[in-house]
Amino acid sequence: MKKKWIVIPALLVPAVAGVLAATPPERDMPAQHLGPKVVVDRALRQQTIDALVAKLNDHYVFPDKAKAAAAALRQRQSEGKYDAITDGGQLARQLTEDIERVAHDKHLQVGFEPDQVPPDPVGPPPQSLADFERIVPLAVRQQIGASNLGVEKVDHLSPNIGYLALSQFPPHFLMAGKYAAAMDRLADTDGLIVDLRGNGGGFPETVVLLASYFVDQRTRLNDMWDRTTNVTKQHWTLDKLDGKRYGGKKPVVILTGPGTMSAGEDFAYTMQAMKRATVIGERTWGGAHPARPYRLGEHFFAVIPDARPINPVTHADWEGTGVTPDIQAPPDKALAAAKDLLQRRLREAAPAVTAQR
């Protein structure tokens, strides 16, 4: 199970626990453990449920749903529904199913760790590369630096059509140079395909960074309401970028599918809402609320959303619904459909460009 202490390509970095992430959890994966088996007895079940109820009521983005989920847990507990469960993974899955049935939130889950769950982080998460270098050990930073950081492919499908495949949105302070290099290489194209079909999500601030390359002027993106502070923060595109700006006029197509999750959906939804891109493919996963892990005890944790995006155009988000493509296409045919669309649009625009010259 990929726990959201912080998700970096193939790495789990407990040292930066508490970074607000929107990467969806991977469920139903057996935990690797070489120590003695953890037996879940009555006392551990009681402690876990009590802690889960408290964390939901304290942190879940919708307090009314938190109370309803807590009531459902207590009801099932009083009926003895958990009494026969002695396996930690099974209990975590059952608790997840029970709260999800009420909250209908894709990011909300309970996890089990045969080894010890680290304590909740103290202090603010890293907001800059300097913070990251201060917190994360050098060996881990070197390993992260050697990875592709979710930038899977940067290419030209034809002389005038670019292609950018992204598998995740890591922390923004790691991505400035990576995105700059990619966008510099794609700047000479007349149209661009951004492939998010296998994008597992990441960080809202990184979505802001990438979206900033596709506008000509400062533009308001998604706002973010935080339950803990009851503050709504407006997200605006960045005025200064390290790479060449692609601009707000050249056509962009975004590929999506069921494997487009969380921050991947954020980018597709935002670009679609401001009419900056055409979305081709299938409906996305449907998880919008940024979440973070909370320790429930020595072996259990809960990933609880405590914020929600609000788009200034739609006044909504994609939670539970996903992003609906402008053009439906099976995932294995979406790229061909996107390339065909761009070629047609560029041919249609060519006479006008020639006339202006």
pLDDT tens by residue, 69-122 = 999 999 999 999 999 999 999 999 999 999 999 999 999 999 999 988 988 877
DSSP conformation letters of 252-294: EEEEE-TT--THHHHHHHHHHHTT--EEEES--------EEEE
Question: What is the pLDDT confidence band of residue 142, given thresholds at 50, 70 and 90?
Answer: confident
Residue 154, pLDDT score: 98
- Looking at the predicted structure, is the pLDDT value of residue 297 above 60? yes
Radius of gyration of the chain from its Cα atoms, rounded to whole angstroms? 22
**Residues 174, 144 contacting (CB under 8 angstroms):** yes
Instruction: Return the pLDDT at 3.
Output: 34
Residue identified by tokens 């899955």 is 93
pLDDT of res. 352:
56
Whole-angstrom Cα distance, residue 30 to residue 211? 36
From residue 256, alpha-carbon distances to 39, 274, 317 in Å are 42, 17, 16
What are φ and ψ of residue 60, in 5° steps?
A: -60, 140
Which pLDDT belongs to residue 58?
A: 96
Predicted TM-score (pTM) of the model is: 0.87
Q: Which DSSP helix (H) or strand (E) runs through 88?
A: helix 88-103
* Dihedral (Cα; 49, 53, 54, 59), 10-degree rounding: 130
**Model confidence over 169-224: pLDDT tens digits?**
999 999 999 999 999 999 999 999 999 999 999 999 999 999 999 999 999 999 99
Calculate the CA 137 to chain-centre distance. 24
pLDDT exceeds cutoff 70 at 168: yes
> Is residue 144 very low, low, confident or very high in pLDDT (cuts 50, 70, 90)?
confident
CA nearest to 16, candidates 176, 145, 146, 141: 141
Strand partners, 294: 302
- Residues 252-257 have a mean pLDDT of 98
State how far Cα 336 lies from the chain centre.
Answer: 26
Look at residue 305 and give its three-state secondary structure.
Answer: strand
- Looking at domain 144-288+306-349, which of 1.10.3720.10, 3.30.1240.10, 3.90.226.10, 3.40.50.620 is its CATH number? 3.90.226.10
pLDDT above 70: percentage of residues in the chain: 87
Whether pLDDT at 22 is above 60 = no
Task: State whether residue 314 is helix, strand or coil.
Answer: coil
CA atoms in the 13 A half-sphere facing the CB of 259: 12
**In the numeric block, which tokens belong to residue 114?**
């045969």
Q: Which of 137-151, 265-279, 330-344 has the lowest mean pLDDT?
A: 137-151
pLDDT at residue 16 greater than cutoff 90: no
CA gap 266, 286 in Å, rounded: 10
Q: Which residue has the higher pLDDT, 70 or 13?
A: 70
- What is d(CA 345, CA 343) in angstroms, rounded to the nearest whole number? 6
324 band by pLDDT with thresholds 50, 70 and 90: very high
Q: Where are the domains of the chain?
A: 144-288+306-349
| Residue 8 reports pLDDT greater than 60 | no
Which pLDDT belongs to residue 127?
80
Q: What pLDDT, on the 0 to 100 scale, is given for residue 32?
A: 54
Cα angle value 151/19/47 (rounded, 5°): 130
pLDDT higher than 60, residue 25: no
The yes-or-no verdict on residue 150 having pLDDT over 90 is yes
Give the range among 21-25, 137-141, 144-148 with minimum mean pLDDT. 21-25
